[in-house]
Structure 1
Amino acid sequence: MTLSKPCRLAIAVRSPEEARRALEAGADYVLAPARRDRVPGQIIERRVEGQPELYFAMAGDVTLPADPLRVARLEAPDEFVAVMRGGYSVILLDPDRALLRAFSLETLAEFQRACREAGMECWFGGRLELPDIPRLLVLGPEALVFEEADAETLALGRRMLDAPPAALAPERGAPPERSAVETDRIFVRGFTLPFRVGAYRFERDRTQRLRFTVEAEIRRPSRVPREVSEVYSYDIVTDAIRRLADQGHTDLVEALAEDLAADLLRDARLLSVEIQVEKLDLGPEAVGVAIRRYRDERTI
């Protein structure tokens, strides 16, 4: 969950006027197709056979490269091989549907690793909305690309990226006494997914349902929250559980509980987490484990 550099805000635009407004509102980049043909009444984008769509990203921040970045837009991770010899500096995964409905976070993380191993930045698009920002920041992409963002939405997105959750930076110094910190609790109850789990041989040949209940003690916001950027989203919890399910076979539910606790407690807003993991397909209604872990006691 550690970021090597800040996540940038990019806006896909269709005209110079849109680009100007986006940059004035705080976008780091504006993104536009490189190849266009004009015909009466419309603009048609041309695409070279067998090649990804080429976009150019122009920076509005003087600390960013002055020359436009060559961006390869892909609709699916398996198109990655097409960009290896294109001279691109950025790969944009941008399906024609909501990104987090199209692909799991584990798939996105693998795609991001492939981009970085190839020496290219990884950007995410795909009909993004503001609640997607904290979920995707967990992966640490170099930029998020939004479409048709009005000034208010763009400004809030800018604030969310400029002041990301404390999860994205390690705490300094000793943690405060828990009794001195005002807290709230968030919860996810009865979240059930198929897993490959179990130490017995017969358990390795099939999936079985696991039910997760998670309660987290979080630092209370300093004011009544009015924006999505001011709350800890339960989507972060369910995303973390989905990533566990995508990681293949695990012998013990105890290991899953510990891994989930370690993942969630990287976020400095969480002081403690209680996790219950239940197997539902072994005969009784449920068997499993419940643990409670504290942020300042983490050893994993």
Structure 2
Amino acid sequence: MTAPRLRAVGGDRVFVRDLVRTIGVGILASERGVTQRVRFTVTLDLGEGIAPEGDEPAVSYVDIVEAIDAETAGHSPLLEQLAERVAGRLLANSRVARADVVIEKLDILKGEGILGVHMVRERAA
């Protein structure tokens, strides 16, 4: 039996969901010199027509994890700045058209909720 021809519907996406890292982040005095748990969810929209080449992915989830780890190496004052840096690093790959970045502080509200930032960036024309 021959496999049917397939047609792409929109662009493909690569994502990492619910990746938790313990990092230095925050502008409050109580957040300086300490670390806190932060959860990342990042989705990348690939450019139109971008597809894997042989056994190599067009963009890998490993790229996302590496970008997060590189950008969280030091203290970040604001989640917004951190999200912008993660998105910028990922958009440096010409195969990525759009980056959707969610970062959440898990412990700051002591079980009463989660606060965070949701940022979407795309390659400028």
Query: Structure 2 unaligned runs (5+)?
Result: 1-9
Q: How does 1:168-187 map to 2 (within 5 A)?
A: 182-187=10-15
Distance 1:198 1:224, change over 3 A: closer
Q: Alignment partner of 1:205: what SS?
A: coil
Q: Counterpart in 2 of 1:274?
A: 100
Contact 2:58 2:95 (C-alpha < 8 Å) held by counterparts: no
- 1:224 and 1:294, CA in 2 relative to 1: closer, same or farther beyond 3 A? closer
User: 2:77 pairs with 235, 247, 251, which one?
Assistant: 251
Q: What is the match of residue 214 of structure 1?
A: 42
Q: What SS class does the counterpart of residue 239 from structure 1 fall into?
A: helix
8 Å CA contact 1:221–1:230 kept in 2: the answer is: no
CA distance in 2, matches of 1:275, 1:186: 12
Change (3 A) 1:201 1:215: same
Matches within 5 A, 1:284-299: 284-296=112-124
Question: Residue 120 of structure 2: SS of its match in structure 1?
Answer: strand
Structure 1's unaligned 5+ residue stretches are 1-181
Structure 1: how far apart are the matches of 2:107 and 2:19?
Answer: 15
- Superposition deviation, residue 288 in structure 1: 0.4
Within 2, Cα distance between the matches of 1:263 and 1:222? 19
Shift of 1:282: 0.8
Give CA-to-partner distance per residue, 1:51-82, whole Å, 9 cap, x none.
Answer: xxxxxxxxxxxxxxxxxxxxxxxxxxxxxxxx
Residue 250 of structure 1 aligns to a residue whose secondary structure is coil
Which TM-score applies when normalising by structure 1?
0.36
Quick one: which amino acid aligns to residue 245 of structure 1?
Answer: T
Work out whether 1:196 is the aligned partner of 2:30. no
Query: Paired residue for 1:242?
Result: 69
Once the 2 structures are TM-superposed, how far is the Cα of residue 183 of structure 1 from its aligned partner?
1.3
> What are the residue-to-residue correspondences of 1:114-129 with 2, within 5 Å?
none
Equivalent of 2:59 in 232, 236, 240: 232
**Counterpart residue number, 1:134:** none
Contact 1:193 1:209 in 2 (8 A): yes
Percentage of pairs with the same residue = 34
| Aligned residue type for 2:98 | S
CA deviations over 1:81-120 (Å, ceiling 9, x no partner)? xxxxxxxxxxxxxxxxxxxxxxxxxxxxxxxxxxxxxxxx
Contact preservation (8 Å) 1:278, 1:289 = yes
More helix by share: 1
Preserved CA contact (<8 Å) 2:98 2:123: yes
Cα deviations by residue, 1:119-142 (Å, 9 ceiling, x for unpaired): xxxxxxxxxxxxxxxxxxxxxxxx
Name the SS for the 2:26 alignment partner: coil
Q: Report the Cα offset of residue 212 of structure 1.
A: 0.5
CA distance in 2 between partners of 1:249 and 1:238 (Å): 18
**Residue type matched to 2:68 in 1?**
I
TM-score between the two structures when normalised by the length of structure 2: 0.83
Secondary structure of the 1:273 match is strand
The aligned residue for residue 263 of structure 1 is: 89
**Aligned partner of residue 124 in structure 2, secondary structure:** helix
Amino acid at match of 2:66: D
Amino acid at match of 1:238: V
Amino acid at match of 1:295: R
The letter of the residue matching 1:231 is A
1:211–1:278 CA contact under 8 A, matched in 2 = yes
Q: 1:294 to 1:252 in 2, by over 3 A?
A: same
Runs of 4+ in 1 over 3 A off after TM superposition: 220-226
